[in-house]
Every structure is written in C-alpha cells, then in structure tokens.
Structure 1
Amino acid sequence: MPRLDIIHDAVRNALIRDGWTITDDPYVIQYRRTTLYADLGAERPIAVERGGLRLVVEAKSFVGASKIQDLKEALGQYDIYRYLLEETAPDRKLYIAISTAAHRTFFTQDFVQLILQKHQLPIIVVNLDTEEVEQWIN
C-alpha cells in the first residue's frame, strides 16, 4: 500500500465532522488484475428513497519542491482513478482534498484556475488546524 499523504488524517477528521461516514480507509479500486488505493471512501445517507451520496477522496498536500509538478501528478492520478471508478463504482464521485494553505497560495493563481476549470476538478478545501471542511468546489 502507498504511503499516506501528510494531510490524510486531517481530511478524514474533517469529513467526519462534516457529517460523512468513512467507509474505506483506504478505498480499494480493483479493476481486473490491477489494484489501486485512493485515500478514503465516504458516504452520507440522505432520504432513503433517493439513496446516499458516495465519495472517493484523494488527499494531496502540495508541499513538494514544485507545486506545478504536484499538480501534474494529482491531475494524472485523478484521471486514472476517475476512469477506473467509472467502470467499477459509477455511483461514487471523486474529489481531491487540499489544505486551505495550498488553496490560498497556489490554487487561486490564474493559470491554476484555468487548468481546474478546463479539467473540472472537484476539490474539498480543508482547514488543517481545525480539521474542518471549508469549501466544496465542484
């Protein structure tokens, strides 16, 4: 299994505080003979007749030497997971979880905003100090 991102526990706790039930830690993506591990699976029950909301969340700290390289890796990982989830768990929505610091210092830059808009990357912004979800960006 891969090493956990440094913000993993804060993201997990923030989702729980936001009313989500963690169903998988890690969330196993199995496609034929390939096994990959996303950080978390979570669900939130809503009205029984409508079913529940189900997520897969990948935590990314963006503390590497190059934030652009971190972004390229996150986008590639997101695409791979999304394609496999479309086949194996189409009822789950994939999100990337980032810290408020990464959002404030990197994700608000114009070129990053353009990339996120074109890529339609769903993001959960988590305050690492309070371990609370600050924003959902769809």
Structure 2
Amino acid sequence: MLLVYNKPMPKLDIIHYAVKNALIKDGWTITDDPYVIQYRRTTLYADLGAEQPIAAERPGQKLVVEVKSFIGASKIQDLKEALGQYDIYRYLLEETAPDRKLYVAVSAIAYKSFFTQDVIQLIVNRHQLPLIIVNIEVEEIVQWIN
C-alpha cells in the first residue's frame, strides 16, 4: 500500500506472523516490523526487514520482505497488485537501501495452487520475482526462489 505523509500504516496480511516466525526459525533476525521506506516526502511500509547474523548460512545478508496471501476474489488481480508494489519498493530500495534484497513471501498452499500454473510461472520468471515459500501451518520456510 502506497502511503504518503502521516497516513496510518496498512493492515497486516493474515499470514504476516507465520512468515515472521518462519524467518526467525530459519535464523534471521527481524530488524523492522514494518520496514519503513522513506524517499524524500514519501513514506511506504514493507512488511518486514531481516538480517542474517555473520556466522549464519547467508552471512550479513539483509532482506526486505513483503507478505502476500493471495486470497482475494481474483488471484490474477492479487498478482498484478503484488508485482506493482514489488516494483515500487524495489526502485525505492535501490535508492535508499541498495544492500537489501526484496522478496515476496507467500504460503506453500498459494504457491502450489496458483504459482505453479504455466502462465503464472511465465510472468514470475520474466519479472524475476524473488519468492519465499512458507509452510504456514508449521511456520517454516519451504523454498527460496531467486
């Protein structure tokens, strides 16, 4: 959600806490909840900021994670909105925090039922959309897609 000036922060996605807990279980330290993207007079809120400790598997890596449940009436519309939001955040992060990699986190159920379709695979691959696939029930990361 694009927010300008002092408007309220957006409502959390229904899988927000499951994704957050999955990142923590995977060894990430949550640094921001939400992650504030400030560019000149515009303020946007991505869902999470996270970092890996130096001794971990991905040492010193920093992430910004946008959480999406894909439970709307039209999953294609949800994808269009997610891609647009991803592009906006990516462009602003390139200016404000180039050391952070942006990911979209989705549930394993949404991934299996929607993201594995041929047309969606084409779009996601062409867009080069980095994904974190999370098993919401056990709050664990199933797959990273770069």
Structure 2: runs of 5+ lacking an equivalent: 1-8
User: Which of 95, 99, 102 pairs up with 2:103?
Assistant: 95
Alignment of 1:81-92 (within 5 A): 81-92=89-100
Amino acid at match of 2:80: K
2:83 alignment partner in structure 1:
75
1:46 matches 2:60 = no
Paired-residue identity, %: 79
Structure in which a larger fraction of residues adopt helix: 1
User: Which of 15, 18, 26 pairs up with 1:10?
Assistant: 18
Give the number of aligned pairs: 137
> Over the residues paired in the alignment, what is the CA RMSD in angstroms?
1.4
Structure 1: runs of 5+ lacking an equivalent: none
TM norm structure 2: 0.91
Alpha-carbon distance in structure 2 between the residues aligned to 1:5 and 1:41: 15
2:140 alignment partner in structure 1:
132
CA contact (8 A) 2:66 2:105 kept: yes
Runs of 4+ residues over 6 Å off in structure 1: none
1:111 matches 2:119 = yes
